[in-house]
Amino acid sequence: MSDLELKPFNVREIREEFPALRQQIYGKNLIYFDNGATSQKPKLVLDAINLFYSKENANIHRGVHYMSQKATTEYEAARQRIQRYLGARKSEEIIFTKGTTDSINLVAYSFGLSLSAGDEVLISAMEHHSNIVPWQMLCERQGCTLKVAPINLRGELIMEEFDKLLSKKTKLVAITHISNTLGTINPVKEIIEKAHALGSKVLVDGAQSIQHMHINVKEMNCDFYVFSSHKVFGPTGIGVLYGKEELLDRMPPYQGGGDMISRVTFERTTYNELPFKFEAGTPHIAGGICLGKAFEFLESIDMAAAERHERELAKYAEDMLDTFEGLQIIGEAKNKTSVVSFSVKGIHPFDIGTLLDKQGIAVRTGHHCTQPLMDFYGIPGTVRASFAFYNTKQEIDTFVEAVERSLSMLK
Ligand SMILES: *Cc1c(COP(=O)(O)O)cnc(C)c1O
């Protein structure tokens, strides 16, 4: 990856790469503002999916024939590309999983086996269900305790409270880098330094950060970083667990089966080395290769400029929405990304979402898999518009007008 390949950031050119954005819904130009749920896919990825299944489909790692060897090479090349992009030391530290949820469950099971009564896992009040429930299951299994660091009304972690909850008993901090509901960017570097000082490891849920900013796991110094391919312009059904080699080496396998073994007898099985130890069974081969393509695409994007563009979009939308009577922006952290969540007094988010849909605008409504967070705000859910770098100011103008129209119909 070299900076020389970077093209100047140009939304119009970027949009050309995404066929899904050029369609009409109910006779209206699609405005896709549900990027927090999943992103659209660039041609580079779409073409690679088609090519793989048309010409290159073969199982990997054990094949003697040409196609199998080619698929293996491409699958492993994708792993290496992701390793380089993330700044990981070795490609062995990149484990292919089904996605964020699967990656967290892997760590909760495998790393979790080293925890016992008296140990604590510390999460935050803004976590996605998939960064809550696996830890609850772990705590039940191992007899350890789950602690939850509170947030303030702006949707920011209260660091003094976090500091009080972090102790020598904390074996793992599992924290989202960016809240999918609020857009809050958590100070993960500070959290990691503090946790490490007390001997705790840190898992960063990167499901909402990998697509918005350039991530370097070595600089961040997290112990685990997890994300889903489908939110970062790749296919569904695949994701990544990055883990430090010395930790992954010590962790037992999560699932047993083919590929994860080195030798099997009925008496005893020895396990394969990293990363295969954690990849039982035939993986999502096309998914891995095409996730590699998604990163190839990302490498051509000036992420710093993309991030600025996205934040401008969010600020622009918020400033206009804020003037609507009864509308409250949920999530007003000082440091936040391109997510605009809001609720309107006396109107159910679902009704707003339905009317927006009829105008060709895709947003998310509901609890966004963060029910405890909705309880904290005392609301059933929000309307969430989440932007990607391919969204435009014109789209926001149309969206804000559509919200205004919808509210006048519902009041
Ligand atoms: C989407 C999301 C998840 C879960 O990702 P899956 O792709 O459903 O496994 C976890 N955490 C955050 C912050 C998310 O946005």
Distance (angstroms) between ligand 1 centre and the Cα of 228 equals: 7
- Please name the residues in contact with 50: beta carbons below 8 A apart, sequence gap of 6 or more: none
CATH class of the 11-41+302-405 domain in this structure: alpha beta
Domain boundaries, the chain: 11-41+302-405, 47-299
Q: Which of 123, 127, 130 to mutate to test the pocket of ligand 1 (most atoms within 8 A of CB)?
A: 130
Instruction: Give CA–CA dist 91/82, Å, rounded.
Output: 8
Q: Which residue among 100, 176, 215 is best mutated to probe the pocket of ligand 1, counting the most ligand atoms within 8 A of its Cβ?
A: 100
Distance from the alpha carbon of residue 100 to the mean position of ligand 1, in angstroms: 6
Q: Whose CA is nearest to atom 2 of ligand 1?
A: 207
User: Hey, what CATH topology would domain 47-299 get?
Assistant: Aspartate Aminotransferase; domain 2 (3.40.640)
State which ligand 1 atom lies nearest to the alpha carbon of 228. Answer: 7
C-beta of residue 234 within 8 angstroms of C-beta of residue 290: yes
Count of CA atoms in the C-beta half-sphere (13 A) of 392: 13
Per-residue pLDDT, 33: 98
pLDDT in tens, 207-250: 999 999 999 999 999 999 999 999 999 999 999 999 999 999 99
Q: What is the pTM of this model?
A: 0.97
Give the pLDDT of residue 106: 98
Residue among 38, 228, 336 whose CB has most ligand 1 atoms within 8 A, to mutate: 228
Listed as ranges, residues in the chain with pLDDT below 70 are 1-5
Pairing relation of β-strands 382-386 and 94-97?
unpaired
Going from the Cα of 174 to the center of ligand 1, the distance in angstroms, rounded, reads 13
Query: Distance, CA 215 to ligand 1 centroid (Å)?
Result: 17
pLDDT digits (tens, 9 = 90+) for 349-358: 999 999 999 9
Provide CB contacts within 8 A for 30, sequence distance 6+: 20, 21, 22, 23, 24, 360, 362
Q: From the alpha carbon of 101, which atom of ligand 1 is closest?
A: 9
Nearest protein CA to atom 5 of ligand 1, as residue? 100
Give the pLDDT of residue 7: 79
Strands 31-32 and 28-29: unpaired
Q: State the closest ligand 1 atom to the C-alpha of 37, by its place in the atom list counted from 1.
A: 1
Q: Which residue's CA is the closest to the ligand 1 atom numbered 12?
A: 207
Instruction: Please indicate whether the domains covering 11-41+302-405 and 47-299 agree at the CATH topology level.
Output: no
Q: Of 139, 144, 222, 369, which residue is the catalytic one?
A: 369
Atom of ligand 1 nearest to the CA of 103: 9
Alpha-carbon distances of 116 from 111, 121, 142, 196, 210, rounded to whole Å: 11, 11, 5, 19, 32
- What pLDDT is recorded for position 105? 98
Which residues surround ligand 1 with Cβ inside 6 Å?
99-101, 128, 130-131, 176, 180, 205, 207-208, 228
**Which alpha helices (H) appear in 198-322, and where do they start and end?**
217-220, 245-250, 285-299, 303-321
pLDDT of residue 379: 95
385: CA distance to ligand 1 center in Å?
A: 16
Going from the Cα of 4 to the center of ligand 1, the distance in angstroms, rounded, reads 33
Which atom of ligand 1 is nearest to 236's Cα?
7
What gap in Å lies between CA 355 and CA 123, rounded to an integer? 36
The yes-or-no answer on residue 369 being catalytic is: yes
- Tell me, what's the pLDDT at 217? 98
